Amino acid sequence: MAKTIKLLVLAGDGIGPEVMTEVGRVIDWFGRHRQMKFDIEPGLIGGAALDAEGTPLSDTTLALAQSADAVLLGAVGGPKWEKLPFDKRPERGLLRIRKELGLFANLRPAIMFDALADGSPLKPEIVKGLDLVIIRELTGGLYFGEPRGIDSPKPGIRRGINTQVYSTPEIERVARVAFDLARKRRKAVCSIDKANVLETGVLWREEVQALHDRDYHDVELTHMYVDNCAMQLVRNPKAFDVVLTDNMFGDILSDEASMLTGSLGMLPSASLGAAGPDGRRPALYEPVHGSAPDIAGKGIANPLAAILSFAMCLRYSFGLEKEALEVEQAVKGVLAGGMRTADIMQTGKAKVSTAVMGESVIKELDRAR
Ligand code: IPM
Ligand code: MG
């Protein structure tokens, strides 16, 4: 009998629960049709956790995350909690789970599905066949650097402080993830920094280059300033294979890259830590789109990014490449068949709900079986 896979599902806020319901169907399907057993534990994060437990991520949920084989997350945040102090905001739950699980490498692929090529705001010839992945450092830099805070150096004047800080090991471990991934792809890493202005950028560039020269000769490495990268991503995105960058720049560039594909509703992500002594690697999978409070509860959200995140989970946490491809093929099949949620709607296609989209993926899985 196959080993039981323990998944913690943190549906979160807004459209999170809706899209995770559809992921649930896909998990069920694999449980029924493949030699796989899943043990699914639901948990709270973000605003949902705040309302129920008074904190955006409780120690109990964190412990569950630490003992699970992987975490599947929906989305966090919403207008209801926007006015709260910083440490109570739903986003803190997400930042805490990333930090406490040590999820330092965030993989954000931007893939253009052929069926959606005219849905991009860019000309089809610029994005057709696009297949890049951003590796974003996720537990350091400006997001976590100390000192931080808002103080008052003089009466009547307030001062906001954040610190951009990176050390050699932090840069090396995420760069390794980028180089290793590039080896399975087109063997090209473009490392992004602001070395013309920031010391952290100088260090980033030097350490990435040194690691490359030591261990990754076979991979092509280039460096680019972040402002130039922002421009090249819309000018010629297909020139990129693996894009390696820090936490803040990666946050911005990944939203930009996602839009090349036409909809944030299509993009999955994986956040990975270092393998522990037992070989288990902490991992969290989430769609890149947020909680989308404006459409929450209407049953129109696109579940494909969340479903594709589950495919990444099969691939990166369990080495189930064949099963990951099955999910990705099913999504392609549904799109080729003309099914569209509102966010990716095109004239002449069938506009469907979240649930019908999920059911269609299951039908495709059945068809290909
Ligand atoms: C993301 C989001 C988060 C981030 C927010 C919700 C804290 O924008 O995952 O890109 O800034 O990292
Ligand atoms: Mg972001």
Residue 86: CB atoms within 10 Å:
10
Closest residue (by CA) to atom 1 of ligand 1? 251
Burial 117-148 (b: 16+ CB within 10 A, else e): bebbebeeebbeebebbbbbbbbbbbbbbeee
Q: Considering the domain boundaries, does residue 266 fall inside one?
A: no
What is the pLDDT, as a whole number, of residue 262?
A: 81
User: Do 141 and 253 reside in the same domain of the chain?
Assistant: yes
Average pLDDT on 278-298 reads: 94
What phi, psi does 237 have (nearest 5°)? Answer: -65, -25
Average pLDDT on 14-31 reads: 98
Q: Considering the domain boundaries, does residue 267 fall inside one?
A: no
Instruction: Determine if the pTM surpasses 0.85.
Output: yes
What phi, psi does 139 have (nearest 5°)? Answer: -125, 15
What is the pLDDT, as a whole number, of residue 118?
A: 84
Tell me the ligand closest to 92's alpha carbon: 1
Average pLDDT on 5-17 reads: 98
User: Do 118 and 229 reside in the same domain of the chain?
Assistant: yes
Closest residue (by CA) to atom 10 of ligand 1? 251
For residue 268, how far is its CA from the centre of ligand 2 (angstroms)?
13
User: Do 250 and 120 reside in the same domain of the chain?
Assistant: yes
Tell me the ligand closest to 252's alpha carbon: 2
Average pLDDT on 141-156 reads: 97
What is the pLDDT, as a whole number, of residue 28?
A: 97
Tell me the ligand closest to 247's alpha carbon: 1
Range of the domain at 39: 1-104+273-369
Q: Considering the domain boundaries, does residue 64 fall inside one?
A: yes
β-strand 188-193 against 4-12: which pairing, if any? unpaired
Output the domain CATH number for residue 296: 3.40.718.10
User: Do 98 and 120 reside in the same domain of the chain?
Assistant: no
Best residue for ligand 1 mutational test, from 82, 94, 245, 247 (most atoms within 8 Å of Cβ): 94
For residue 255, how far is its CA from the centre of ligand 2 (angstroms)?
6
Percent of all residues in the chain with a pLDDT value above 90, rounded to a whole number? 91
Closest ligand 1 atom number to CA of residue 76: 6
Say how far residue 265 (Cα) sits from the centre of its chain. Answer: 12
Give the pLDDT confidence of 172-227 residue by residue, as tens digits: 999 999 999 999 999 999 999 999 999 999 999 999 999 999 999 999 999 999 99
Q: Considering the domain boundaries, does residue 265 fall inside one?
A: no
Average pLDDT on 252-273 reads: 92
What is the pLDDT, as a whole number, of residue 73?
A: 98
- Enumerate the active-site residues: 143, 194, 227, 251, 255
What is the pLDDT, as a whole number, of residue 264?
A: 82
User: Do 256 and 130 reside in the same domain of the chain?
Assistant: yes
Residues with CB under 6 A from ligand 1: 91, 94-95, 251
Give the whole-angstrom CA distance, residue 322 versus residue 7. Answer: 19
Q: Considering the domain boundaries, does residue 122 fall inside one?
A: yes
**Residue 89 pLDDT greater than 60, yes or no:** yes
Closest ligand 1 atom number to CA of residue 269: 9
For residue 369, how far is its CA from the centre of ligand 1 (angstroms)?
37
Instruction: List, in order, residues 6 or more apart from 274 with CB less than 8 Å away.
Output: 102, 104, 173, 281, 282
Closest residue (by CA) to atom 11 of ligand 1? 251
Cα-based distances in Å from 24 to 69, 178, 348: 16, 30, 30
Confidence at 1, pLDDT banded by 50, 70, 90: low
User: Do 43 and 92 reside in the same domain of the chain?
Assistant: yes
User: Do 22 and 161 reside in the same domain of the chain?
Assistant: no
User: Do 30 and 147 reside in the same domain of the chain?
Assistant: no
Tell me the ligand closest to 76's alpha carbon: 1
**Residue 265 pLDDT greater than 90, yes or no:** no
What is the pLDDT, as a whole number, of residue 222?
A: 98
Give the pLDDT confidence of 311-327 residue by residue, as tens digits: 999 999 999 999 999 99
Q: Considering the domain boundaries, does residue 368 fall inside one?
A: yes
Instruction: List, in order, residues 6 or more apart from 228 with CB less than 8 Å away.
Output: none
**Residue 65 pLDDT greater than 60, yes or no:** yes
Token code pair at residue 251 = 């946050």
User: Do 328 and 350 reside in the same domain of the chain?
Assistant: yes
Closest residue (by CA) to atom 5 of ligand 1? 91
For residue 214, how far is its CA from the centre of ligand 2 (angstroms)?
32
* Mean pLDDT for all residues in the chain: 96
For residue 75, how far is its CA from the centre of ligand 2 (angstroms)?
11
User: Do 205 and 146 reside in the same domain of the chain?
Assistant: yes
User: What is the number of structural domains in the chain?
Assistant: 2
Say how far residue 268 (Cα) sits from the centre of its chain. Answer: 5
For residue 251, how far is its CA from the centre of ligand 1 (angstroms)?
7
User: Do 88 and 125 reside in the same domain of the chain?
Assistant: no
What is the pLDDT, as a whole number, of residue 67?
A: 95
User: Do 203 and 158 reside in the same domain of the chain?
Assistant: yes
What is the pLDDT, as a whole number, of residue 6?
A: 97
Amino acid at 20: M
Closest residue (by CA) to atom 4 of ligand 1? 251
Best residue for ligand 1 mutational test, from 13, 57, 91, 136 (most atoms within 8 Å of Cβ): 91
Best residue for ligand 1 mutational test, from 98, 251, 252, 271 (most atoms within 8 Å of Cβ): 251
Closest residue (by CA) to atom 2 of ligand 1? 251
